[in-house]
Chain A
Amino acid sequence: MTAASQGAGARDPVPRSGRERPRLVSIRWIVAAASVFLTAAVGLALTGVAERNARRVLAEAAEGALVLQARNLALTSADALLTDYPELTLAPLVNRMLSDQKDLRLVIVVDRHGVIQGHSEVRRIGTPYTSPRDLRPARTSVSLDSTETLTRNDELLFASAPIRHRNGEVIGTAIVGLRVESIERAVARGRGEQHVVFGVLLLAGIVASVVLMSLLLRPIAALRAGIERIGGGDLSATLAIRDRTEFGLLADAINHMVVRLRSAQADLLERERLAHEMQLAQQIQRSLLPATPVRAGTFVVQGGQWAATEVGGDYYDVFRMPDGQVAMAIADVSGKGLGGCMIASMISAQLRALRDDHGSPAALLAALDERLGETLAPGSFFTMFYGVIDPEAGVLTIASAGHNPLAVYRARRNEVEWIKTRGIPLGAIRGGIVRTTLDDVEVRLEPGDAAVQFTDGVSEASSETDGEQFGFDRIAGVIREAAPHGAASIVEALHTAADRWRGGGAPEDDETVLVASWATADSVKAAPPDIADAAAEPGLSAWAAAQAAGHRLELPARIDALAGIGAWLRGIDAVRAWDDERVRLAELALYEASCNLVEHAYRMDSGRTLEIWWVPDDTFLIRDHGAPFRPRRELNDFADPDVRRRGRGFGFELIHLAMSDVAYYPGTIVGNLTTLQL
Chain B
Amino acid sequence: MDDGIEIERGETRGKTVVLRVRGRLDAKTALRLLERAMPFAGMGRSLVLTLSGITFMGSSGIGVLLAIAQAFQDRKGSLRLVAPSAAVESVVKLLNLEPFLKIDASEDAAHSAITGQASA
A residues in contact (CB < 8 Å) with B:
1-2, 4-5, 8-15, 559-560, 562-563, 566, 580-581, 584-585, 587-588, 591-592, 595, 636, 638-639, 641, 644-651, 653-654, 657-658
Contact = CB atoms under 8 A, between A and B. Distances in A.
Contacts of B4: 563
Interface stretch (B42-50, B93-101, B111-119): B93-101
A651 B60 CA distance: 8
Given A645-B70, A654-B58, 9 more contacts: A1-B10, A13-B2, A559-B28, A638-B66, A644-B67, A644-B69, A649-B63, A650-B63, A654-B62
Q: Size range of the interface on B?
A: 35 or more
B105 interface: no
Given A559-B28, A648-B63, A5 B10 contact: yes
24 contacts: A1-B10, A1-B11, A5-B9, A10-B9, A11-B8, A11-B9, A12-B8, A12-B36, A14-B1, A560-B3, A560-B28, A566-B56, A580-B86, A585-B90, A592-B59, A638-B96, A638-B97, A646-B63, A648-B59, A650-B59, A651-B59, A653-B59, A654-B62, A654-B95
B10 A657 contact: no
Interface of A is mostly: helix
A645 B100 CA distance: 12
Contacts of B64: 647
Contacts of A595: 27, 58-59
Interface in B45-91: 55-56, 58-60, 62-64, 66-67, 69-71, 86-87, 90-91
B66 A581 contact: no
Contacts, number: 110
B67 A645 contact: yes
Nearest to A15: B2
B56 A587 contact: yes
Contacts of B26: 559, 562-563, 591
Nearest to B30: A647
A587 B56 CA distance: 9
A256 B44 CA distance: 50
A600 to B, nearest CB: 13
B94 A654 contact: yes
B91 to A, nearest CB: 7
Contact of B86 (A581, A639, A648): A581
Nearest to A599: B27
Nearest to B17: A9
B60 to A, nearest CB: 7
Contacts of B12: 5, 8-9
Interface of B is mostly: mixed
Contacts of B63: 646-650
Contacts of B10: 1, 5, 9
A586 to B, nearest CB: 11
A654 B91 contact: yes
Interface of B: 1-4, 6-12, 24, 26-28, 34, 36, 55-56, 58-60, 62-64, 66-67, 69-71, 86-87, 90-91, 94-97, 99-100
Contacts of B62: 650, 654
A2 B64 CA distance: 29
A653 B87 CA distance: 17
A566 to B, nearest CB: 6
Given A5-B11, A653-B95, A559 B27 contact: yes
B11 A9 contact: yes
Given A8-B12, A595-B27, A638-B97, A588 B6 contact: no
Given A5-B10, A563-B24, A657 B69 contact: no
A12 B7 contact: yes
A364 B8 CA distance: 72
A492 B62 CA distance: 37
A645 to B, nearest CB: 5
B90 A588 contact: yes
Contacts of B11: 1-2, 4-5, 8-9
A610 to B, nearest CB: 15
A13 B7 CA distance: 9
Contacts of A653: 59, 95
Contacts of A560: 3, 28
B86 A644 contact: no
B69 to A, nearest CB: 7
A649 B62 CA distance: 10
Contacts of A584: 86-87, 90
Contacts of B67: 644-647
Contacts of A647: 34, 63-64, 66-67
B95 A638 contact: yes
B21 to A, nearest CB: 10
Which 8 residue pairs spanning A and B have beta carbons closest together?
Answer: A647-B67, A9-B9, A5-B11, A647-B63, A651-B59, A644-B66, A650-B59, A644-B70
Nearest to B90: A584
B65 to A, nearest CB: 8
Contacts of B9: 5, 8-11
A5 B7 CA distance: 14
B59 A581 contact: no
Nearest to A566: B56
Contacts of A11: 8-9
A661 to B, nearest CB: 16
A591 B36 CA distance: 24
A12 B58 contact: no
A347 to B, nearest CB: 42
A591 B2 contact: no
A65 B69 CA distance: 92
B9 to A, nearest CB: 3
Contact of B28 (A4, A10, A563, A580): A563
A651 B69 CA distance: 19
A587 B59 CA distance: 12
A16 to B, nearest CB: 11
A460 to B, nearest CB: 36
Contacts of B99: 639
A557 to B, nearest CB: 13
Nearest to B62: A650
A595 B30 CA distance: 14
Nearest to A654: B59
Contacts of B6: 12, 14
Contacts of A12: 2, 6-8, 36
A15 B24 CA distance: 17
Nearest to A651: B59
Contacts of B58: 588, 591-592, 595, 651, 654
A588 B91 contact: yes
Contacts of B97: 638
Nearest to A5: B11
A641 B70 contact: yes
B97 to A, nearest CB: 6
Contacts of A650: 59, 62-63, 95
A190 B14 CA distance: 65
